[in-house]
Amino acid sequence: MRPAIEARGLAKSFGEVSVLAGVDLEVAAGTVFALLGPNGAGKTTTIRILSTLIRADGGEARVAGFDVVRQRAEVRRSITLTGQYAAVDELQTGEENLRMMARLRGLSRPAARRRAAELLDRFDLTDAGGRRVGTYSGGMRRRLDLAAGLVVPPSVIFLDEPTTGLDPRSRQAMWQVITDLVGTGVTVFLTTQYLEEADRLADRISVIDGGTVIADGTADDLKRQVSAQRLDLVMADPAAYSAATGALGGRVAHGDPVKLTLSVATDGSAAHVRAVLDEVDPGRGAVRTFGVHSATLDDVFLTLTGHATEEEPAHV
């Protein structure tokens, strides 16, 4: 089966600032693909190019089998884009928003009413359908926004940080919605700042930094690239922290001088853990506590990019 999304050598600059510098992507049909990266790495710019909102300076891409430049109309008929903020009319009711979108997509009045009712039921919004959207919670607005994009079922859905700002319960509800969509054969292209979200939902993940893809694979593949396990050390004092950091050098995956914590890749064996402890704490007084944990996508992100995801948004 042909990939739902293909991109080769995508490049984009804004003035003198290079945002994408040759991005290659391939997304299988009927899967969830997650694009991870620090804010400003080019995630949103990539989505804007693939959804035909802007043109790349170089490279080529196809979505749902159509070229994003030469066949823009066909691409747009095949996709739905949900941005970082819900784009619904707060002065209308939920049902009115959906009926309006259905009419704009060419459905008759009776068909628009039926489709609105179906979507309200599917997204657990039936009881709120007659209320003005301005009274909705953030999670309800996000679900309504996604429902509006499904008035005519698309082949590909682009979700740009769909759960940003949602509480844990609303985020869990959105995860279930995404899982259900993929079960119907839809392809989901997801960007997110929540690494747990990518770990749970994505069949495949690419990490982008500095405008290029620096890693690609399943969540387990990426974790194995870093290490299957990590050794977390809590040092006794600043002097012990400084000495351990110097001894371990480039092997430190993450360090926090305020909390006096260090993380080191390990194979999880007793022999390797003992060797690291002997190296940084030969006198048995420098390490206050330690623990061995399975690697997470946070470890992957920190190791590959050198920084965490909690940075000020750059919207690129």
Return the residue matching tokens 């890749």. 265
- Reply yes or no on whether the pLDDT at 254 is more than 80: no
Most confident of the ranges 15-29, 84-98, 142-156, 245-259? 15-29
Q: What is the pLDDT of residues 50-105, one digit of tens each?
A: 999 999 999 999 999 999 999 999 999 999 888 666 678 889 999 999 999 899 88
Three-state SS string across 84-137, please? CCCCCCCCCEHHHHHHHHHHHCCCCHHHHHHHHHHHHHHCCCCCCCCCEHHHCC
- Averaged over 275-299, what is the pLDDT? 86
CATH of the domain at 120: 3.40.50.300
Q: How far apart are CA 281 and CA 234, in angstroms?
A: 11
- Reply yes or no on whether the pLDDT at 237 is more than 50: yes
- Reply yes or no on whether the pLDDT at 292 is more than 80: yes
- Do 256 and 211 lie in a common domain? no
> Which is more confident, 257 or 302?
257
- Do 75 and 177 lie in a common domain? yes
Contact 144, 104 (CB under 8 A): no
To the question of pTM greater than 0.95 for the whole model, the response is no
Burial of 183 (0-12, 13-18, 19+ CB in 10 A): exposed
Q: How far apart are CA 206 and CA 178, in angstroms?
A: 18
Dihedral pair phi/psi, residue 292, rounded to 5° = -110, 130
Among 301, 144, 159, smallest CA distance to 230 is for: 301
Confidence of residue 311 (pLDDT cuts 50, 70, 90): very low
Displacement of CA 118 from its chain's centroid (Å)? 28
Question: What pLDDT sits at residue 310?
Answer: 45
Residue 118 lies in a domain: yes
Question: What pLDDT sits at residue 27?
Answer: 95
Most confident of the ranges 26-35, 152-161, 215-224? 26-35
> Minimum mean pLDDT among 2-6, 9-13, 147-151, 272-276: which range?
147-151
- Do 110 and 211 lie in a common domain? yes
Dihedral pair phi/psi, residue 95, rounded to 5° = -65, -40
Residue 125 lies in a domain: yes
- Do 147 and 275 lie in a common domain? no
- Do 110 and 150 lie in a common domain? yes
Residues in a beta bridge with 187: 156
Q: How many domains does the chain have?
A: 2
| Residues in the chain, overall count | 316
> Minimum mean pLDDT among 22-26, 171-175, 304-308: which range?
304-308
Domain housing 202:
5-216
Average pLDDT of the chain, as a whole number: 86
CATH of the domain at 275: 3.30.70.920
Confidence of residue 306 (pLDDT cuts 50, 70, 90): low
Confidence of residue 315 (pLDDT cuts 50, 70, 90): very low
- Do 20 and 169 lie in a common domain? yes
- Do 172 and 238 lie in a common domain? no
Q: How far apart are CA 52 and CA 73, in angstroms?
A: 9
Among 251, 237, 250, smallest CA distance to 281 is for: 237
Q: What is the pLDDT of residues 107-139, one digit of tens each?
A: 999 999 999 998 998 888 899 999 999 998 888
- Do 96 and 57 lie in a common domain? yes
- Do 190 and 253 lie in a common domain? no
- Do 211 and 251 lie in a common domain? no
Confidence of residue 314 (pLDDT cuts 50, 70, 90): very low
Q: Which two tokens stand for residue 79?
A: 């996709």
Confidence of residue 37 (pLDDT cuts 50, 70, 90): confident
- Do 134 and 248 lie in a common domain? no
* Strand stretches in the chain, DSSP E: 5-14, 17-27, 32-36, 58-63, 66-67, 79-82, 156-160, 187-191, 204-209, 212-217, 229-235, 252-256, 261-266, 287-294
What is the DSSP secondary structure assignment for residue 47, as one 8-state letter?
H
Residue 302 lies in a domain: no
